[in-house]
Amino acid sequence: MIDLLGCILLLPVLLIVVPLLSLLIALDSPGAPIYIQERVGLGGKRFRVYKFRTMVCNRSNDSERTYMEKYVSGRIESDEGTLHKPIPKQDITRLGQILRKTSLDELPQVLNILKGEMSLIGPRPNVNWEVDFYKGWHYERLNTLPGITGLAQVMGRSSLSFDQIARFDIQYVRKQSLFLDIQIIWWTFKTVLSGRGAG
């Protein structure tokens, strides 16, 4: 119900914002405005997630992958104020910085919701090689549909360690309710406006 209502409410905005942002992204840097990447969803099922492109094309992600493997496996400590976004600033476009800060880059994932691959609320989906480095207890976060926003996003986003993210996600999996979803939607608006944990 929340997903359907959310998509209906967002539709008029999307009809204006998506074409406008697509045009601005194309003018800002070469490449397709929509970025498609394979992620892991409910029960370990793989699907293609849609996002507005925020980075330059043809960049190497070797260093990012090495960092994220260490981050997911718990070999990187998380200090207060640390943002776990190992992407060099020069690889993020000018418009991309704004899209990432405001989380507008996630808007195309409404299509994933309509396809039944995602929900408005749920754990953020990881790429397959990040899931390969899960600890055993991390897999419980895959017991519900991934979401555009979730409990971990409103509790710190990229400033949390992966273990902290997983604990919040598992807490959500175990305590899902309509009231909790409404709370998370409200907290999401506050988090986006404050920019806390964004990167």
- Pairing of the two strands 119-121 and 147-149: parallel
pLDDT at 35: 93
pLDDT at 101: 86
Given a cut of 60, is residue 107 above it in pLDDT? Answer: yes
End-to-end CA distance of the chain: 31
CA distances in angstroms from 45 to 41, 147, 148, 167, listed in the order given: 5, 14, 17, 21
* pLDDT tens by residue, 157-199: 777 889 999 999 999 999 999 999 999 999 998 887 776 655 5
- Domain ranges for the chain: 2-194
Question: For all residues of the chain together, what is the average pLDDT?
Answer: 89
In this prediction the pTM is: 0.87
* pLDDT tens by residue, 74-93: 887 665 555 666 777 888 99
Q: What is the mean pLDDT of residues 46-67?
A: 88
User: Is the separation of the CB atoms in 120 and 113 below 8 Å?
Assistant: yes
CA distances in angstroms from 28 to 24, 54, 57, 62, 93, listed in the order given: 6, 10, 12, 25, 7
pLDDT at 70: 87
